[in-house]
Every structure is written in C-alpha cells, then in structure tokens.
Amino acid sequence: MTISSNQRLLISFFIFAIALLLQFRATDLVGLNVNFALATVLTLAFFVRFIDVIFLSLFGVVALTWRPGFTPEMATFLGLPLAAYAVRLFFPGKLWLNHILLTACGIVLFHLASGFSLFTSHLGSITVDTIGSTLVGALLFQLLDRLYAKT
Amino acid sequence: MKREQLVYGILIFVFVFLFITQPALLNHIEDRFLRSPNSADTAIEKLQAENDVLKAEHARFESIVSELGPLPKEGILADVYSRYPFSLKHELLVGAGALRGVAVGDAVAFAGVLVGEVREAFRDSALVRTILDERWASAVRVGTRGVDALLVGGAEPRLTLIVKDADVRTGDIVYNAAPAFPLGMPVGRIASVMLSPDGLFQEATLSVGYDINKLHAVSIVTKSSMKQP
C-alpha cells in the first residue's frame, strides 16, 4: 500500500491537531512545560511537501495566536519548519540526528525570541522544555519514519 | 495538480486574512471549541474569592485602616479571549480595550481578587500579565498584622522577603500593597510557610481561590476608578 502525499498531509494534519490540543492543556495534563506544537510541526516538516509545511505552520500560528499583531514567537514558529525543510533537502544524511539537533536548537531559539530576560532567568524550565520537546519530536519522527518506510 | 495547488492557495489566503484582520474571531472559535466551562466550579471559586475579599478588608481595617480609601467595587467587565499557549509567560487577552477606557497598568480582578495587570491596551482588547507569569513581582501584605512581603509570580506564586520573626501562618490572607493597584485588594492566601534557602527570611507559597486557566471573565479596575472616593 502506498501512502500518497495527500494522505500524508491528512495524517500530518491530524497529528498536528492533537499536538495543538496538547499544547493548550500541556501544563494541566503532564504538569510540564513541553512545546508539543513546535516539536510536532518541526518533525512533520521532515515528511511532507513544502506547500504542506507552509500550510501546517500557518495553521499552527492561527490556532496558537493569543493576541493581536505579529510576535517574535509566531515568527519563529513560522520560520523554524521552513528551516527544517531546508535541512531535509540539503542535508539528507542521518536525518534523525539532524532532526534532534534542529528540534533542540529550535526550542532554544523560540525561548530566546520570546524574551531574553526570561531566557537567562529560567534556564532550568527551558532545559526541561528543550529535553521534553526533543523527546516528543524524536518519538514522533521514529513513528512516522517506520510508517512511511513500510509503504 | 493545479486544482490542488489552487485549493492550498485559497486555504492559505483565508488563514492569513483571518489572522491579520480577525484575531478576536479566531479567539472566539478557540473559546467555543477548546474550552470546557464548568459553572459549578466557577460558582464555588466566586464564593471563595468573595470570602477572600471580605477577609482582606477585615485584615486591612485591622492593620492600616487609616492609610487607605475604600476598595473600588466595580470595574470594566471583559471576556477572556485567549491565553498565552506556551510556557514561562502567563498572559490573557481580554475583550475590553482603549475604547472602553482600559489603559496600561490597570489592575485586573476576578470577583474582587487581583489576577494581574494590563500590559498592552489595544482598541477592543487588552493584554493582561497575570500573577502566574514568571516576570511578576509586587509588594503585598499578609494577615491582620500587615506583614510586608514581595509577591513573585510563577506557576506557583510565592511570597519572599518576609521578616524572619514575623508571625505568618497558613491560611492568612494576602492583599496588595503596591501603589499601582488598589491598596488592600486581596491576592490569595498563604498555603505554606518556610525559611528561605539562605535562612535570612521567611518564604511562603500562595494559594488563589480560583483556577486562572478556567476564568471566562474578569473586571478591569482603571486608574481613574481608583482615585474616586
């Protein structure tokens, strides 16, 4: 059975929707600050078409936006999946390693964008977020890699 | 393929258009589909908040009655549209803005209990930083003895710099002492008391009588209403 690009997008959209719901309830559900949404969209960028990456990023920004205007957080949320797609395109060897590095750096960059003073004063929380998000992304990456490798 | 690209193009255009022009509409959609209001919980939380208000007033009258004017009883009612969805920051977007007289620095309350302050005022909405935000710090007083402390925000707000020999107990009411907000406005109650890591002061954790993540409406106490007798 072959999974077409459109089916990949549908699967990705479904996974991303779950990640967004988890993001809204992250602290209540797991008691930890984990960036489910960013980790998921970065991972999905390794498996879908360029246009799908743009679509998913925009959908994420629209769903997560909490205030009028464009914020550094949202710019990072839009830019990082595109970076992930570029990594996939130009550095195709050892994608899993590239993915882990990109997710970890992406989460750190996201926190830097949201406020430098917060970044320096809450290194502990940010470390937990980085490790948790990278783990979530790595698990999803392995799952999707096996799913698509079999088809 | 061309038809597919056209569909994507339209979808992306619609999202961008909505994002730029209708943030409030999107927040309503989020409110409609992603939140689960629980009226019983809200009623209990309101009662608890009212109880805190009464206790704070009692404490205030006992300790510093001569210094203060009356607390403002009403504010501008506003719906809570959305919340900051990531970690560290704790911000709310509420549905009242500059058009209704909301300005930066106004106090935001739930049933009379201090929840946060307005950080940005837009035309029809305002961004509120709550006491759960890691960047929050404000002066407070504790109990009928009016012990001074510093409220530090976070997922678990705490009181720091409490004098070591001050009589602070679990259950004591905590009320605002920062001049930016109504003096004596309750903030919460002491949940536990301990010595600071350096052993020089006491610290305490704060318990608020409501779930800030389930608030659907707040009131904004403007600076002008604070000045009125």
Q: Which of B4, B34, B85 sits opposite A66 (nearest CB)?
A: B85
Contact assignment for B135 to A68 by CB distance below 8 Å: no
3-state secondary structure of B130: strand
Contact assignment for B88 to A114 by CB distance below 8 Å: yes
Residues in chain A within 8 Å Cβ distance of B120: 67
- From CA B204, how far away is CA B159, in angstroms rounded? 5
Least confident interval from A1-10, A106-115, A129-138? A1-10
Residues in chain B within 8 Å Cβ distance of A34: 87
- From CA B110, how far away is CA B212, in angstroms rounded? 9
Residues forming a β-bridge with B92: B83, B128
Extract long-range pairs of B186-192: CB within 8 Å, 24+ residues apart.
B186/B49, B186/B52, B186/B53, B186/B55, B186/B56, B186/B112, B186/B113, B186/B114, B187/B113, B187/B114, B187/B131, B187/B140, B187/B151, B188/B52, B188/B113, B188/B157, B189/B52, B189/B55, B190/B142, B190/B143, B190/B159
Task: Say what the pLDDT of residue B3 is.
Answer: 64
Contact assignment for A114 to B86 by CB distance below 8 Å: yes
Q: What DSSP string runs through B6-54?
A: HHHHHHHHHHHHHHHH-HHHHHHHHHHHH----HHHHHHHHHHHHHHHH
Range picked from A66-75, A99-108, B58-67 for highest mean pLDDT: A99-108
Residues in chain A within 8 Å Cβ distance of B135: 117-118
CA distances from B129 to A104, B116, B179 (A): 28, 5, 17
Select from B60, B74, B58 the least CA-distant residue to B184: B60
Residues in chain A within 8 Å Cβ distance of B122: 68
Instruction: Give the closest-approach CA distance of B93 to chain A in angstroms.
Output: 6
Query: Residue A128: closest CA among chain B residues belongs to which residue?
Result: B87
Q: Say if residue A80's pLDDT is above 90.
A: yes
Determine which of B17, B32, B86 to mutate to test the interface with A (most A C-beta atoms within 10 Å).
B86
Instruction: Give the closest-approach CA distance of A82 to chain B in angstroms.
Output: 15
Task: Say what the pLDDT of residue B72 is.
Answer: 56
Structure confidence by residue, pLDDT tens digits, A31-57:
667 889 999 999 999 999 999 999 999
Q: What DSSP string runs through B151-213?
A: EE-SSS-EEEEEETT----TT-EEEE--TTS-TT-EEEEEEEEEE-TTSSEEEEEEE-SS-GG
Find the chain A residues whose C-beta atoms sit closer than 8 A to any C-beta of B.
6, 21, 23-24, 26-28, 33-35, 37, 51, 54-55, 58-59, 61-68, 73, 110-111, 114-115, 117-118, 121-122, 125-126, 129
Between residues A1 and A2, which one has the greater pLDDT? A2
Query: Residue A114: closest CA among chain B residues belongs to which residue?
Result: B89
Handedness of CA B63, B50, B132, B123 (dihedral sign): negative
Q: Which two tokens stand for residue B28?
A: 């309503």
The owner of tokens 């980085």 is: A130
Q: What percent of chain A has pLDDT over 90?
A: 48
3-state secondary structure chain A: CCCCHHHHHHHHHHHHHHHHHHHHCHHHHHCCCCCHHHHHHHHHCCCCCHHHHHHHHHHHHHHHCCCCCCCHHHHHHHHHHHHHHHHHHHCCCCHHHHHHHHHHHHHHHHHHHHCHHHHHHCHHHHHHHHHHHHHHHHHHHHHHHHHHHCC
Task: Say what the pLDDT of residue B131 is.
Answer: 92
Per-residue pLDDT tens, chain B, 229 aa: give them. Answer: 566 667 667 767 776 776 666 665 566 565 555 555 455 556 777 777 777 777 777 666 665 544 444 555 568 899 998 888 887 788 899 999 999 999 999 999 988 899 999 999 999 999 999 998 888 999 999 988 889 999 998 878 999 999 988 989 999 999 999 998 998 899 999 999 999 888 899 999 999 888 887 788 899 998 877 665 4
Instruction: Give the closest-approach CA distance of B101 to chain A in angstroms.
Output: 18
- From CA B65, how far away is CA B58, in angstroms rounded? 9
The owner of tokens 């509120």 is: B128
Structure confidence by residue, pLDDT tens digits, A116-147:
877 887 888 889 889 999 999 999 999 998 88
Residues in chain A within 8 Å Cβ distance of B30: 63
Task: Say what the pLDDT of residue B65 is.
Answer: 47
Task: Say what the pLDDT of residue A23 is.
Answer: 84
Kindly provide the b/e burial profile for residues B111-138, where b requires at least 16 CB atoms within 10 angstroms of the residue's own CB. bbbbbbbbbbbbebbbbbbbbbbbbbeb
Longest CA pairwise span in chain A (Å): 51
The ipTM is: 0.75
Query: CB–CB of B194/B202 below 8 Å?
Result: yes
